[in-house]
Structure 1
Amino acid sequence: MKARIGIVGAGSAGLGLALALVRRGLAPVVFEKRTERQVVDEGIFLTLAPNGLNALRGLGLAAEALRRGVETRAIVLHNEHGKPLGTVDYARHASQFGAPSVTIRRGVLGEILLAAARSAGVPIHFGAAVSAVTNLDSGVAVTTGDGVTHSFDVLVGADGLRSTVRALVMPGLPAPSYNGLLGSGGIVDAPDVPPTDGRMLMTFGRRAFFGYIKDAGGPVYWFNSFPADEKQAQLIDRQAAPGYFAALHRTDPAINRRIIAAAAAEVSRIYPDFDVPSLPYWSRGRVILIGDAAHAVTPHSGQGASMALEDALVLAACIDAEATPEGAFRRFEGLRRDRVEAAVRLGRQGGAPKKAQGWLARRVRDLMLPLFVPLGQRGQEQLFAFRADDLPLVKPR
């Protein structure tokens, strides 16, 4: 299907799809409501699992991501007293799955994808919010905020959790729902914090969850997550956040408190954690949703960007292989739905222990986690083993 394809969203899903389509001889156009600077400054950091890095390999970008990130070789879980509760070993990922895990600044991943898309000649319109979408039998009309209307054979909504395309084209779908956790994080220079040797060190504190990783000679990548009312995110302004976080982690191990103190000037935003309920369909007419617009995966799974990049490769292959948009969309959903819903379930399971409040709940969690960590690792490894870059369907002809 040699279609004219519009893509809304210049995140991992949108830019990844644009690159995958170009590799198949198609000419997509990308619309992004944010500025270019906002795209490359977006968010804080993420961890690409082996399946995500392998998807990047399918775009020719895995080596660059690994070079600019921190290879992540284990996750070590501790209780509020610093007692180890379990280790998730990532050291064999490269030999097991063909790629390691890597922690990388979200904006750096955006830079890598954006530079590759530009080199490939993909037109990218920044500051181009979509204001209307008309889904016709013969095509899709997309109107941007400047009043200009563009025509395509296919439109892809890769515009994230609060997708404008989803709201305009599929308004009956359920909205994202807050899952009870707030979080923040940052990247801060802290020379007195020792490197973690590729381990992401995590603590289930009394009031909040905390994690960090530090490469030798590099900054500390840190994050936290804590149960609170959603409105709390708006009530804690930037000036108040350092004191609020210091109180949250007051009884944590000393190293966590040291990082929070070093990061006091860096805290800029607190993020509510949302789930998108399982959507009954991802497409309507000639419009399809991918990435977080279709199946937001909570940060607790470590799979959001990886699933978005997989979506990009698989949808490009389906569009190339099928004669009609409807056929491509059916094939895509058939290939992806069970897999992304498994990632969503894994993320929800990972978030549940972070909500434990009170002595008894924490004690039960500490007793149960050593039993459940190996099960969680097996669940992760089932996801990691998938090779989007090696599927017969996905390999360009």
Structure 2
Amino acid sequence: MCPIDDPAATMNRATTPEATIGICGAGVGGLALALRLARLGFHPVLFEARSKEAALSEGEFLTLASNGMNGLRAVDCYEEVLRQGLETRAIELCNARGKRLALIDQSDHLAAFGTPAVTIRRGVLTGILIEKCQAEGITIQFGRRVTKVDNHAHAVTLNFFEGAGLAVDLLVAADGLRSFVRTQIFPDYPQPQFTGLIGTGGIVDADIPATDGVMRMTFGEKAFFGYIKTASHPVYWFDSFPADTPDAVRALEPAALTAHVRQMHADDPEPNRSILQAVGQVERSYPIFDMPQLPVWSSGRVVLLGDAAHAIGPHAGQGASMAIEDAVVLSSCLVATLDYGAAFARYEALRRPRIARVVKLTRQNASRKRKNSRLSLFLRDLLLPLLIPMTVRASRRLFAYRVDLDPLEANTSFESGRKDAA
């Protein structure tokens, strides 16, 4: 890392072991990238606008499918995440009356893909990655909000709201859906688009039966609801409901938002209503956005990663997993060549086809949550049991991807959908 007034010191070493690679954003993707780069001999430095405390407390929980869990092997965090998470062995889909539409068995994922799916608190996952970075001597600067990015031929210089600016050899924008770096480097790129759904969720102690590793989901008449619970864990719950605008419930105070969420599920089968009655307050809502396909993911010495490049909605449980995969592939591309431009191009070429498949699956799943007319609900209940097997086959091909084994290969188990992965 070089002072901002000495950019010449960064010339001609962008992909050598002496290179300093700045990473804007200490989310799952940015932290995984820092760990992988350090293992490959680079000098990563992370900049995060939030405080460490905010980074550890933001969000509720997420599920890492087998492909994301295997990606954590590449940064030596797999065992700890598995230990602290909750194995998710099946997904049950029910209609608004509580009738089962489908049961998607995931109990063979350890045997088929090398790891089960795991549900884990987002803050716990972030904490595991931060602790690993700190143990390996990786610099993480919290409370460092970027205010300006200059993408020079010889270096990338950054200014911050507080503190001195600096220069890095390369910069990775891992700063999320609303990426500030992306707006600086690609000011003409489209903005994220509202999908018509708003989500909430939380973790609560509720006196309901354990689901024994089954994530139970209900297509209600007004909204979608899901939860999972074991004897040793509280209830992890989430929902999504249609809205005309992303601001539809943003102005509501927590008490009013809680009442609104309960009203959306007033006709749901039990135990959905009991779970929400146990919730003290729903603190905030999360409008769900989609990112239009971007023309390119890099310019000069700056490259996009994770949601900054391709926002993945929460409807297929792949957002964090895609960011982890991005991190492993990008770092492997950088170590394979002295030409950072070629490395960025290879990374994008490898990732785009897979991301496109995940986005397609995510949008299909999201469309089923927006049904609210009597006819559309009837047709969904009728057709969903017939469509689910196709979705399951597509999902299992996603899960079979082993970025930890061959990040620069086509991963034929995913591309061809080999029989043992289907």
Global fold match (TM > 0.5): yes
Paired residue for 2:419? none
CA shift for structure 1 position 143: 1.1
Q: What corresponds to 2:266 in structure 1?
A: 250
TM-score, structure 2 normalization: 0.91
2:210 corresponds to 1:159:
no
Of the candidates 299, 303, 314, which is equivalent to residue 288 of structure 1?
A: 303
* Kept in 2: contact 1:154–1:287 (CA 8 A): yes
How many Å separate the matches in 1 of 2:385 and 2:251? 36
Could you tell me which runs of 5 or more consecutive residues in structure 1 were left unpaired when the two chains were aligned.
none
Deviation at 1:392, TM superposition (A): 6.2
Q: What is the CA deviation profile of residues 69-100 of structure 1, one whole-angstrom value per residue up to 9, with x for unaligned ones? A: 11001110000000001111111111111111
1:241 matched residue in structure 2: 257
**Deviation of residue 4 (structure 1)?**
1.5
Q: Does 1:115 align with 2:142?
A: no
- Supply the distance in 2 between the matched residues of 1:175 and 1:34 (Cα, whole angstroms): 22
1:109-156 residue CA offsets vs partner (Å, 9 max, x unmatched): 100000001011111111101101111111111111125221111000
CA deviation digits over 1:158-194, x for unaligned, max 9?
A: 000000000111111111000000010000011x211
SS at match of 1:196: coil
- The question of whether the paired residues in 2 share the 8 Å contact of 1:188 and 1:266 is answered with no
Say if 2:117 is the partner of 1:139: no
Contact 2:328 2:407 in 1 (8 A): no
1:181 equivalent in structure 2:
197
**Residue 368 of structure 1: how far off its partner (Å):** 0.7
Equivalent AA in structure 2 for residue 238 of structure 1: P
Going from structure 1 to structure 2, the CA distance change for 1:283 and 1:245 (only over 3 Å counts) comes to same
- 2:368 is the alignment partner of 1:353: yes
Question: Shift of the alpha carbon at 1:44?
Answer: 0.7
Instruction: Letter of the 1:306 partner, please give it.
Output: S
Structure 2 residue 43 is matched with structure 1 residue 27: yes
Q: Cα distance, 1:237 vs. partner?
A: 2.0
Q: Retained in 2: the 8 A contact 1:71–1:198? A: yes
Partner of 1:77: 93
Query: Match of 1:46?
Result: 62
How many residue pairs get aligned? The number is: 392
Residue correspondence of structure 1 range 188-199 to structure 2 within 5 A:
188-190=204-206, 192-199=207-214
Q: Once superposed, which parts of structure 1, at least 4 consecutive aligned residues long, lie more than 6 Å away?
A: none
Alignment partners' CA distance in 1, 2:73 and 2:210? 28
3-state SS, counterpart of residue 221 of structure 1: strand
RMSD of aligned Cα (Å)? 1.0
Query: Displacement of 1:254 after TM fit?
Result: 2.1
Is the Cα contact below 8 Å between 1:13 and 1:309 reproduced in 2? yes
Q: What percent identity do the matched residue pairs reach?
A: 50
TM-score (norm 1): 0.97
What's the offset of the Cα at 1:393? 4.1
- Aligned CA distance change for structure 1 residues 240 and 71 (closer, same or farther; 3 Å): same
C-alpha separation in 2, matches of 1:153 and 1:26: 11
Q: Distance in 2 between matches of 1:268 and 1:47?
A: 21
Indicate the residue corresponding to 2:348 in structure 1.
333
Q: Which amino acid aligns with 1:362?
A: L
Q: C-alpha distance in 2, partners of 1:233/1:345?
A: 28
Partner amino acid, structure 2, of 1:245: V
- Structure 2: runs of 5+ lacking an equivalent: 1-14, 410-422
